[in-house]
C-alpha cells in the first residue's frame, strides 16, 4: 500500500470526512463543516528573490498547454452598492494615459521566450469597467495584443462593460480589432432593483441596448445576481426571459455576497441583517428552472448558454489551471507556477512600465501538486467529476480519494452517477464551492497526511473560492 493510499484510509476515519463534510437533512438543508483552503506547500516568495525567479520564467519556464491573459482596467463611474473592489474614478485624461501604459507593457513582453512558447486562447478585459475606454484607446491596446501575443486562431477575446459606458462606436471599433465577446454586468433588468443597487438605466433602455448589441458580429453575455434587495421569484424568472428575448448568447448566474466594506455590506451591518439561505436557495432554484425551460445549456455551475458558440473559455481556463498572465495594475494571475499580484499604486506601476519591466508587487510559489488541485477544482467547477479519468491524467489516486466522498454526496442527492461519472444536481450546483473546498482538503490530506490544526488558512484573498 502506497503512502497516498494509507493517508486515504486514515482520511475516511476522520469524522468530518466519514460524514461527508457535514450533516445532511435534505439536499438543500446541510450544515457544512466548511473552512477555507490553501495548498499546504504554497510559500511566499521573497522580494529579493523575485526578479531572478521572474527572469528564469521568462527565459526557461514551461507554459501550460493553453493560457489566458487578464487585462485590468480599474476605472469605473458607477457606484454599485454591492461592490467593494478596487477602482478609480473616471477621468478621460487618466484613462488615456493608462491605456498608453498598457500598450507599453504589452510591447515590453515582445519576443520573451516564455510567451513565444505559449498558446493564448483567451483574453479578458476586466475591471472596473473596460468599456469606459475610448474607441481609439481600445484599438491601440488591441493592436499591441495582435503584434505581441501568440493568440490561437479561435481565441476568445472578452471585454466587460457597463451598458451606460458602451456605445455603438466603441463596440464597432473593438469588434473590428478582434474583440469577439462582450460581458455586461446587468445584475437585474428590474428598474426598481437596479436603482436600489446603483445601476442607472431602466429596464426598457437595458433591453433596447442589449437587443441592438446582439445584432453585432460578436457574442453578448450578461451577469445576473440572485439575492439582491427586492428580488423575488417572479423578477428572477423575468430577468432570464428578458436575457433570452434580447438575444444574449449566455449568462453568468452569481449569488450575492455581502462584502463588509461595500455600501450594501455597511447597510446590512447597520440593520443587523444577513442573507437568508432559504431565500437564496429559492431564487437559485427558480433561476435554474427557468433556464432549463428556456433551453439553456449548462457549461459550469455558474454559466449557461443559448448560443452554441458560447464557451466561457476564460473562466474554464482559470478554474482548471491554465496560465493567467496579468497585465495592468491591481490584478493577479499565475505563470510558470508562480502566483503574481501587480502593483496597486499608480506610481509603482507606471514607473515599472516606463522602465520596460514586468513588475509584480508580490508573489507566491505554487504547490508542486498544483496540477492535481486544479484538476479537481476544474471538474468541480464544471459539475462533472470522473475520478478514474482524473487519476489517469494526474498519475495520482484520485479515484480512491474522491469516490467514497462522491458516493456519500450521491446518497444526499447532490450528485448523480452513471458509468463512474458524477454530475451535480441543482442542489450540488448551489453548494459547489463548499464541495470543491471539501475535495481540496481531502486531496491535501492524501498528499501530506493529517494537517496541523494549529495552522489555519484564512478567507482573506480567497473570494473566488467562497
In this prediction, residue 466 carries a pLDDT of: 35
CA distance between the termini of the chain:
35
Q: What is the mean pLDDT of residues 141-170?
A: 98
pLDDT tens digits for 431-464?
999 999 999 999 999 999 999 876 655 544 433 4
Q: How far is 68 from 179, CA to CA, in rounded Å? A: 14
**Residue 326 grid coordinates:** 496579468
Q: What is the mean pLDDT of residues 79-104?
A: 86
Q: What is the mean pLDDT of residues 205-209?
A: 98
Residue 86 confidence (pLDDT) above 80: no
What's domain 50-318's architecture? Answer: Alpha-Beta Barrel (3.20)
In this prediction, residue 85 carries a pLDDT of: 64
Which uninterrupted H or E stretch holds 399? Answer: helix 398-412
pLDDT tens digits for 3-61?
999 999 999 999 999 999 999 999 999 999 999 999 999 999 999 999 999 999 999 99
In this prediction, residue 145 carries a pLDDT of: 99
pLDDT tens digits for 228-239?
999 999 999 999
Classified as helix, coil or strand, 319 is: helix
Residue keyed to cell 481565441: 155
Q: Which residues of 423-457 are buried (b: 16+ CB within 10 A; e: fewer)?
A: bbbbbbbbbbbbbbbbbbbbbbbbbbeeeeeeeeb
In this prediction the pTM is 0.94
Residue 336 confidence (pLDDT) above 50: yes
Domain range summary for the chain, segments of one domain joined by +: 3-41+384-450, 50-318
Residue 184 confidence (pLDDT) above 80: yes
Judged by average pLDDT, the poorest of 111-125, 130-144, 188-202, 373-387 is 188-202
Read off the pLDDT band of 352 (50, 70, 90): very high
**Residue 88 grid coordinates:** 478609480
SS percent in the chain: helix, strand, coil, step 5 = 45, 20, 35
Q: What are phi and psi for residue 16, nearest 5 degrees?
A: -65, -40
Q: How far is 162 from 76, CA to CA, in rounded Å? A: 9
Amino acid at each position: 500500500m502506497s503512502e497516498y493510499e494509507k493517508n486515504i484510509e486514515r482520511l475516511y476515519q476522520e469524522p468530518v470526512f466519514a460524514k461527508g463534510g457535514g450533516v445532511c437533512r435534505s439536499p438543500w438543508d446541510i450544515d457544512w463543516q466548511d473552512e477555507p483552503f490553501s495548498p499546504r506547500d504554497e510559500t511566499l516568495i521573497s522580494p529579493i528573490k523575485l526578479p531572478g525567479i521572474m527572469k528564469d520564467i521568462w527565459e526557461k519556464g514551461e507554459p501550460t498547454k493553453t493560457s489566458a491573459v487578464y487585462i485590468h482596467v480599474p476605472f469605473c463611474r458607477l457606484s454599485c452598492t454591492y461592490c467593494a473592489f478596487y477602482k478609480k474614478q473616471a477621468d478621460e485624461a487618466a484613462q488615456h494615459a493608462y491605456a498608453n501604459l498598457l500598450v507599453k507593457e504589452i510591447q515590453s513582453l515582445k519576443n520573451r521566450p516564455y510567451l513565444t512558447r505559449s498558446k493564448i486562447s483567451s483574453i479578458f478585459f476586466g475591471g472596473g469597467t473596460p468599456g469606459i475606454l475610448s474607441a481609439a484607446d481600445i484599438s491601440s491596446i488591441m493592436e499591441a495584443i495582435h503584434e505581441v501575443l501568440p493568440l490561437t486562431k479561435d481565441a476568445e477575446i472578452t471585454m466587460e462593460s457597463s451598458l451606460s459606458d458602451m456605445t455603438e462606436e466603441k463596440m464597432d471599433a473593438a469588434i473590428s480589432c478582434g474583440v469577439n465577446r462582450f460581458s455586461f454586468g446587468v445584475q437585474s433588468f428590474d428598474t426598481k432593483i437596479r436603482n436600489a443597487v446603483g445601476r442607472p438605466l431602466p429596464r426598457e433602455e437595458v433591453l433596447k441596448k442589449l437587443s441592438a448589441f446582439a445584432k453585432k458580429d460578436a457574442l453578448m453575455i450578461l451577469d445576473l445576481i440572485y439575492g439582491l434587495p427586492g428580488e423575488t421569484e417572479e423578477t428572477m424568472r423575468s430577468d432570464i426571459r428578458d436575457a433570452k428575448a434580447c438575444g444574449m448568447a449566455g449568462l453568468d448566474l452569481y449569488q450575492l455576497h455581502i462584502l463588509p466594506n461595500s455600501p450594501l455590506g455597511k447597510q446590512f451591518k447597520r440593520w443587523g441583517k444577513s442573507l437568508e439561505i432559504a431565500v437564496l436557495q429559492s431564487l437559485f432554484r427558480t433561476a435554474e428552472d427557468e433556464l432549463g425551460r428556456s433551453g439553456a445549456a449548462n457549461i459550469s455551475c455558474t454559466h449557461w448558454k443559448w448560443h452554441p458558440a458560447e464557451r466561457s473559455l476564460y473562466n474554464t481556463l482559470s478554474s482548471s489551471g491554465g496560465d493567467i498572465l496579468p497585465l495592468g495594475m491591481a490584478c493577479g494571475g499565475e505563470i510558470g507556477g508562480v502566483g503574481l499580484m501587480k502593483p496597486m499604486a499608480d506610481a509603482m506601476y507606471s514607473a515599472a512600465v516606463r522602465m520596460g519591466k514586468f513588475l509584480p508587487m508580490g508573489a507566491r510559489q505554487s504547490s508542486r501538486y498544483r496540477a492535481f488541485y486544479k484538476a479537481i477544482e476544474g471538474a468541480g467547477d464544471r459539475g462533472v467529476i470522473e475520478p478514474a479519468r482524473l487519476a489517469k491524467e494526474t498519475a495520482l489516486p484520485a479515484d480512491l480519494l474522491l469516490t467514497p466522498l462522491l458516493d456519500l454526496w450521491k446518497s444526499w442527492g447532490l450528485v448523480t452517477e452513471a458509468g463512474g461519472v458524477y454530475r451535480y444536481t441543482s442542489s450540488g450546483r448551489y453548494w459547489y464551492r463548499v464541495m470543491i473546498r471539501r475535495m481540496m482538503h481531502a486531496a491535501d490530506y492524501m498528499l501530506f497526511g493529517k494537517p496541523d490544526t494549529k495552522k489555519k488558512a484564512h478567507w482573506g484573498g480567497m473570494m473566488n473560492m467562497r
